[in-house]
Structure formats: structure tokens, C-alpha cells
């Protein structure tokens, strides 16, 4: 539900921007700076949430903080709908972003530490795949609200709906026990670890108390520095493409298809790429433990580069304006939409899965949080600058830049990412343990 809400918010802010741009609602007037802040504020605070919750979940335990991030997410979404002006909306979305950020390292790690070796990639990817469902619901809520409600009410309904899914799981999250690995390898409490294992009907066969070895910052970087490059930089690159083309799907689709007659139809049009991407999420889920994370990530980046190259090559421009295409417009739009399939059947899913597997138990949420924060930094940069870049240069140079970035992402993956498929977390992370000392 956390990632359902994350994707819902990603899409719905684009729909809200369309309403503000078309109807000039008092107190919610837009310019490039305000539009950039509105779209990037939640992403900036998500960076803080990923770092803070990642650190705390390794220090205090997964259970100690699980559910707090969902509460913050719920409050931020609900209060956003009540905002008296655009500046309060930016502030409340910032609160929501902090909760969204916290959900990344904690949910991913809890799933990976409970999962079995054979299905771990699939199970962690399934957590993330709820983004696909969130996108589809956002298309439906956005279109129905825009068609049936006055503009000043429609955007508030769009914002408020985002609070519902997160609110439904706060209680359930507080009831999830500590993961067996954290209980055994960090707390050194075998009895708690056995109780946690029984949560899934599994018996934990362990009687020797060993704990994950403490590492200094220098030791961590020496051992996991290259891993950090492999999990953080591809996520940074991916989110530049995903959030730039995702949040600003409306202007991009409009540049291809032209401006539709109503904002409701505009929301449906810009939702088509997300609908295509929906199938990418679950293709990744199905093949994650068969093809492996590394291959899926490389082919996704390469396919993105090819698609951006095709669309930009057939685009006819006059200055910043798109005049037409060398192929039928509908085919150009279909090819562009296909990029969302390979984003999701590719690095958008694998960058979430990999850092939940490649770090030792004591530093797993920290490693995931740093990697996720790198991604959201790319997202914040691109969403803040995108309105200015679009008005200054047009869509074609942006797509050409994304070709180069996608190829760099593929190369970094090839040289810096280890394949964790069908390996235990302890094996793939090369976890060092030591006997638990008593005091």
C-alpha cells in the first residue's frame, strides 16, 4: 500500500498541475518556479525520509518504526487536500514525501528478510509492483474527478484519495513482528527470531548466538563501496527518466498528440504510458528469479535508450516546437509509451530489489536508504528543472539526453552490480558474523 500510494501520488500531481494550469484557481497560480517546487517538494523530503528511516531501522529495528512512515504519508496526503493555497500544498506534500521516503528501505528489507531464496526477487518486486496498480487508480480517479467535479473541488478529491490506502495498513504494519534475521543477527535474540519465523509457519533451526559484525564507515566503504555505486547510480539515472517523463507526461504527450479539448481527456491520454508500464511491473515479477536482476536491469536501460532514440529521430521540430513526425503520430505515441514498459520491466523494479539483498543485515536498510535517496535526488533534480528545460529547449533535446543517460545506466550495471539470484542474503552480501558477547 505504501508503493501503491507512491505511484498514485506520482501520477496525480501531474493531473493536479493540469487543472491548475488550465483553470487558474485563485491561490494556486503557477509559474515555472512554483510548478517545479510543487512537483519536487515531496521528492526532496523523500530523500530525507529514506536516509533517516534507513538509519533508524538498522539501529532500532524494522518493527520499531514500521507503520510510522505510513502515518506520515496518510497525514500529508489528507492535509494536502485541505491546503488553503499552493504554498501550504507544497508544505503538506513535503510531509507526505518524508513518509514515502521512509517506506522504501523498511518495506523492501522486511520483505527480503522474510522471503525464501527461490522466490525472494519475485516477492520483493511484488511489493514494488503495486506502483502499477497505483498508477491505474490515479488515472481513473483523476479522469472521473476532472469530468464530474468543479476544478477547485476536483484537485482536492484527487489529493485526498491518496490518504486512503496508506491509512488502511498502519495498524497491520505495527503488528508485523521483527524479522528473524534482525532479531538473530543484530539483537542476538534467538527466541525472538524463532517467534518471528513462526509468523510464517516456519521453524528456525539455530542454537548458536552470532551477530553481524560491526563495521566502521571506512570498513563499510572499502567492502561495499563498489556495491553502493552499483545500487545508487543506476537508481539516480533511472529516476531522472522515470520521474521527468512520468510527472510531466501531460506536456510530453501533448507535444506528440496535441492539446485535447478537456482536462479529463488529457488525464486519460497522459495515463496511457502508465497503463503500458503496468504490464512491465508484473513481467519483472514473473522473470525476476529466472532471468536475474542484473540482466533485467541492463536490457531495460538499453530498451529505453533505443526507444528514446527512435522517438527523437522521427520527431520534426521547429525551434522548441514539435511540428510532426516522420511516421504516423499514433505509432510515435505507441513507441514512446513502450518506454514505460521497459522502465518497469527493467531498472525501476530492479533498483528497488537489489539493495534489499546486497548489504549485510546490520546495514541493509541504511544501504537501501542511501541508494533510494540517490534515486530520489535524480527525481527531484529533473522534476524541478523539467518545466524550465521544456520551455527553453523543447522535448527533443531532453529525449536525446535520456538516450545517453540510459546507456550509462546499462554500463554501470554491467560493471558494478552483482547478481543475487538464488543466493542467500548472507552469501550474496558476504556477511561477516562474530560470537555474541554477553555483559
- Output the nine-digit C-alpha cell for 375: 534515486
252 or 18: which carries more pLDDT confidence?
A: 18
C-alpha to C-alpha distance for 41 and 83, rounded to whole angstroms: 15
Mean pLDDT in residue range 163-176:
90
Name the β-bridge partners of 322.
Answer: 317
Fold held by 2-430? Growth Hormone; Chain: A; (1.20.1250)
Cα separation, 170 vs 120, in Å, equals: 24
User: Which pLDDT value is given to residue 144?
Assistant: 92
Q: How far apart are CA 108 and CA 12, in angstroms?
A: 24
Percentage with pLDDT > 70 across the chain: 94
Question: Lowest-confidence range among 35-44, 70-79, 330-339, 383-392?
Answer: 383-392
Confidence grade of residue 262 (pLDDT, cut at 50, 70, 90): low
Q: What CA–CA distance (Å, rounded) separates 208 from 194?
A: 13
Mean pLDDT, all residues of the chain? 89
Mean pLDDT value of segment 111-128: 94
Grade residue 274 by pLDDT with cuts at 50, 70 and 90: confident
Give the distance, in angstroms, between the CA of residue 52 and the centroid of all CA atoms in the same chain: 17
Angle between helix 217-247 and 329-344 (nearest 10): 160
Residue range 127-156, pLDDT digits in tens = 999 988 998 898 889 989 988 999 999 999
Burial class, 293, CB count within 10 angstroms (exposed 0-12 / middle 13-18 / buried 19+)? buried
Average pLDDT over residues 26-41: 86
Q: How confident is the model at residue 250 (pLDDT cuts 50, 70, 90)?
A: low
Q: Evaluate whether 80 touches 89 at the Cβ level (below 8 Å).
A: yes
The answer, yes or no, to whether residue 438 has pLDDT greater than 60, is no
Contact predicate 74/411, CB 8 Å = no
> What does the domain layout of the chain look like in residue ranges?
2-430
Give the ranges where 115-248 is alpha helix by DSSP (H): 120-148, 151-161, 163-167, 170-175, 180-185, 190-198, 217-247
Listed residue (226, 395, 238, 404) closest to 322, CA to CA? 395
Distance CA 132, CA 128 (A): 8
| Residue ranges of E strands in 319-422 | 321-325
Amino acid at each position: 500500500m505504501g508503493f501503491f500510494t507512491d505511484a498514485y501520488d506520482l501520477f496525480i500531481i501531474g493531473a493536479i498541475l493540469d487543472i491548475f494550469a488550465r483553470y487558474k484557481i485563485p491561490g494556486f497560480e503557477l509559474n515555472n518556479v512554483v510548478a517545479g517546487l510543487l512537483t519536487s517538494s515531496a521528492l526532496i523530503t523523500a530523500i530525507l525520509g529514506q536516509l533517516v528511516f534507513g538509519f533508524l531501522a538498522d539501529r532500532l529495528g524494522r518493527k520499531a518504526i514500521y507503520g510510522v512512515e505510513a502515518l506520515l504519508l496518510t497525514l500529508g496526503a489528507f492535509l494536502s487536500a485541505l491546503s488553503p493555497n499552493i504554498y501550504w500544498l507544497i508544505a503538506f506534500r513535503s510531509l507526505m514525501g518524508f513518509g514515502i521516503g521512509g517506506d522504501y528501505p523498511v518495506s523492501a528489507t522486511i520483505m527480503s528478510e522474510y522471503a525464501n531464496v527461490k522466490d525472494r526477487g519475485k516477492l520483493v518486486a511484488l511489493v514494488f509492483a503495486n506502483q502499477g496498480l497505483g498508477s491505474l487508480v490515479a488515472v481513473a480517479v483523476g479522469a472521473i474527478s476532472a469530468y464530474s467535479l468543479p476544478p477547485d473541488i476536483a484537485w482536492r478529491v484527487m489529493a485526498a484519495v491518496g490518504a486512503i490506502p496508506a491509512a488502511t495498513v498502519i495498524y497491520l504494519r505495527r503488528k508485523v513482528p521483527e524479522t528473524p534475521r534482525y532479531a538473530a543477527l543484530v539483537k542476538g535474540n534467538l527466541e525472538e527470531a524463532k517467534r518471528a519465523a513462526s509468523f510464517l509457519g516456519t521453524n528456525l533451526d539455530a542454537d548458536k548466538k552470532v551477530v553481524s559484525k560491526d563495521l566502521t564507515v571506512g570498513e563499510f566503504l572499502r567492502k561495499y563501496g563498489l556495491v553502493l555505486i552499483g545500487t545508487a547510480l543506476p537508481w539516480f539515472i533511472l529516476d531522472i527518466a522515470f520521474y521527468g517523463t512520468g510527472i510531466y507526461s501531460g506536456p510530453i504527450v501533448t507535444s506528440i498528440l496535441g492539446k485535447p479539448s478537456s482536462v479529463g481527456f488529457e488525464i486519460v491520454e497522459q495515463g496511457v504510458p502508465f497503463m503500458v508500464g503496468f504490464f512491465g511491473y508484473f513481467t519483472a515479477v514473473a522473470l525476476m528469479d529466472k532471468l536475474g536482476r542484473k540482466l533485467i536491469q541492463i536490457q531495460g536501460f538499453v530498451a529505453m535508450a533505443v526507444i528514446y532514440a527512435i522517438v527523437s529521430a522521427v520527431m520534426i521540430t521547429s525551434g522548441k516546437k514539435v511540428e510532426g513526425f516522420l511516421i504516423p503520430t499514433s505509432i510515435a505515441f505507441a513507441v514512446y509509451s513502450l518506454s514505460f514498459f521497459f522502465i518497469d520491466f527493467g531498472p525501476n523494479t530492479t533498483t528497488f530489489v537489489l539493495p534489499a539483498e546486497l548489504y549485510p543485515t546490520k546495514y541493509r536498510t541504511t544501504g537501501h536508504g542511501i541508494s533510494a535517496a540517490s534515486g530520489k535526488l535524480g527525481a527531484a533534480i529533473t522534476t524541478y528543472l523539467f518545466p524550465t528545460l521544456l520551455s527553453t529547449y523543447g522535448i527533443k533535446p531532453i529525449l536525446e539526453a535520456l538516450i545517453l543517460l540510459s546507456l550509462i545506466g546499462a554500463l554501470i550495471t554491467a560493471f558494478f552490480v552483482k547478481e543475487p539470484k538464488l543466493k542467500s542474503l548472507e552469501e550474496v552480501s558476504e556477511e561477516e558474523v562474530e560470537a555474541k558477547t554477553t555483559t
